[in-house]
Amino acid sequence: MKRFIAVLLTVVLMSSASAVFATQSRMEGMGLSNWMAEDDYNIWDNPARLVQYPGLVWGELGIPTAPMSYTQWAGVSSKKMPIGTIAAFVGRPYSGSITSMYSAVSGMDLTAVPVAINSANVTGAALTCAMSTVLTPFNHLDLFWSISPQLAVWVNMADHYDTLSHTYTSTTRANGDGTAKSDRGTAEYNFGVGTMLEKLGPIESLDVAVKIGLPFVTNIYSERWYVAAQNREGSDDREFKSNGAFTFDFYARWFLRIMQTSKLMMFSNVSMNGLGSLYTDKRDANADGTLDVNTKQTRNLGVYGFNFGAGDVMPLGDRTTLYAALSLKISQSSYSGKTENLINTTTTEEYAASTFGLGVPLNFAIEHKVSKVFTLRGGLEQLLWKNGVLDVNDNDWAANAVVSNAKYQTVTTGIGNITFNFGATANISNSLVIDAVLNQDVFFSGTYIVSGRTNYPLSRITLTYKFK
């Protein structure tokens, strides 16, 4: 909350200039995907768009269902300089895919990586390591540099670390003396480059951007304890980590002027996420110098997305704008895993699955300027069709040979629900704009506002300020 108040105070102290649109709240208030409208939030798809938004202060106050559990972040862009426009954001909520690295797949029967490892050998230790849980990284910093409309770069850094340890030492060395330690960490580094070209024949403008992400996960549990009967230490070493993980995203959007007051937007997006992991388990429970457990499990998860869309922005007079868009979303994922016993070099289990999904969402939204101060907006999304296919190939091993195999396919089809969204803008001055999104829980049960429920009437508030 302190960060958001600081942004507010900064806004109050700055001088006035021209009005601008707000960011995430405007898009959420209409239920639109980012590509379906022109807005300063487009910089998160193509950093080259920053050249259109110099001299801005952003403040985001997201309010989820839990009371006082805010997701706040803020940023500022410089005025235009000889070297271009620079922007920095702090505290943006993480939206990457690394947290799904250890995802359950339907029908998977591989031996699970432990959800929790509890120290049981060191005296007095009450330590738990959430081995298979990937820590959600915190976005510390997003940096943009728009050198020109034709070239801009973006860098993002996020991480999260957690360490627990317990040591017990007797006056005279005894059973249970030792150390237990849990050391978990997640880090992700993202890089992007974008360009914005104009007047390319029938294409009024073209956005192209490429982003690459390098996520890293390392969860380690280590325990050493003294066993008097052997006069040596027992050991327990387990590690769960990313194994060649990466993300890739290609974005393109172009505008075609089809009428004097209307322009057609075309959009395409290709994404790839490789989320491989490796789990090793080495234990000498008897403290005899020989490993009782020595296993290795590899998992590979590849997620691929192909999105295509077309939309139109249609002004209806001076006060009203209508948005319409139709999208095709295709997803493909592949999953494989294998467990090996390294003591006798045998494979014990193996699993492979692939999924295919298809969705066709239709979006309509409208903005209406009620007065010079207030603008109301709303939108709906109807998933016209969805289709999902799951293919499974499950092998069980014994004596280093497949002893059983299961293959099956599951198909699901259907039509999705309609989603409604509502929001509003208040133009406080020529420089200050505040946007808000109505909480859907409140919309479906208006008594929340007066009954004292934990839900807030608004789910997000965005502040944008332009300074001279």
Nearest to 23 by CA among 53, 65, 66: 53
The pair of three-digit structure tokens given for residue 403, joined into one six-digit string: 């002893």
Whole-number pLDDT of residue 415: 77
Q: Average pLDDT of 96-115?
A: 77
- Structural domain spans, the chain: 81-421
**Considering the chain, what percentage of its residues have pLDDT values greater than 90?**
48
Whole-number pLDDT of residue 176: 93
Nearest to 464 by CA among 439, 419, 411, 428: 428
Amino acid at 44: W
Query: What whole-number distance in Å separates Cα of residue 132 and Cα of residue 101?
Result: 9
Whole-number pLDDT of residue 63: 62
Query: What whole-number distance in Å separates Cα of residue 313 and Cα of residue 324?
Result: 7
Whole-number pLDDT of residue 54: 92
Whole-number pLDDT of residue 408: 65
For the cut 70, the answer to whether the pLDDT of residue 66 exceeds it is no
Whole-number pLDDT of residue 14: 34
Give, for 327, the enclosing helix (H) or strand (E). Answer: strand 320-341
Give, for 258, the enclosing helix (H) or strand (E). Answer: strand 246-259
Query: What whole-number distance in Å separates Cα of residue 128 and Cα of residue 115?
Result: 10
Residue found by looking up tokens 């999104």 in the block = 437
Query: What whole-number distance in Å separates Cα of residue 415 and Cα of residue 439?
Result: 24
Q: Average pLDDT of 421-426?
A: 92
pLDDT band with cut points at 50, 70 and 90 for residue 174? very high
Nearest to 336 by CA among 421, 423, 422, 277: 277
Dihedrals phi, psi of 453, to nearest 5 degrees = -65, 160
**pTM of the predicted protein model:** 0.83
Q: Tell me: the pLDDT tens digits for 398-412?
A: 666 666 677 766 777
Beta bridge partners of 220: 183, 239
For the cut 60, the answer to whether the pLDDT of residue 106 exceeds it is no
Whole-number pLDDT of residue 92: 85
Whole-number pLDDT of residue 393: 75
For the cut 80, the answer to whether the pLDDT of residue 468 exceeds it is no
Query: What whole-number distance in Å separates Cα of residue 362 and Cα of residue 385?
Result: 10
Q: Tell me: the pLDDT tens digits for 112-123?
A: 888 889 988 999
E-state strands within 373-415: 374-398, 401-414
179 or 28, higher pLDDT: 179
Query: What whole-number distance in Å separates Cα of residue 433 and Cα of residue 74?
Result: 15
| Least reliable range by pLDDT among 112-116, 312-316, 347-351, 385-389 | 385-389
Cβ proximity of 287 and 233 under 8 Å: yes
Whole-number pLDDT of residue 441: 56
Query: What whole-number distance in Å separates Cα of residue 28 and Cα of residue 423?
Result: 8
Q: Average pLDDT of 348-352?
A: 83
Q: Which of 123-137, 362-376, 407-421 is the most confident on average?
A: 362-376
Whole-number pLDDT of residue 64: 54
For the cut 90, the answer to whether the pLDDT of residue 459 exceeds it is no
Q: Average pLDDT of 24-31?
A: 86
pLDDT band with cut points at 50, 70 and 90 for residue 278? very high
Give, for 148, the enclosing helix (H) or strand (E). Answer: strand 138-148
CA distances from 269 to 24, 250, 360, 419, 440 (A): 20, 6, 15, 23, 28
Q: Average pLDDT of 280-285?
A: 95
Q: Average pLDDT of 321-331?
A: 93
Nearest to 376 by CA among 440, 438, 287: 438
The pair of three-digit structure tokens given for residue 192, joined into one six-digit string: 């992007």
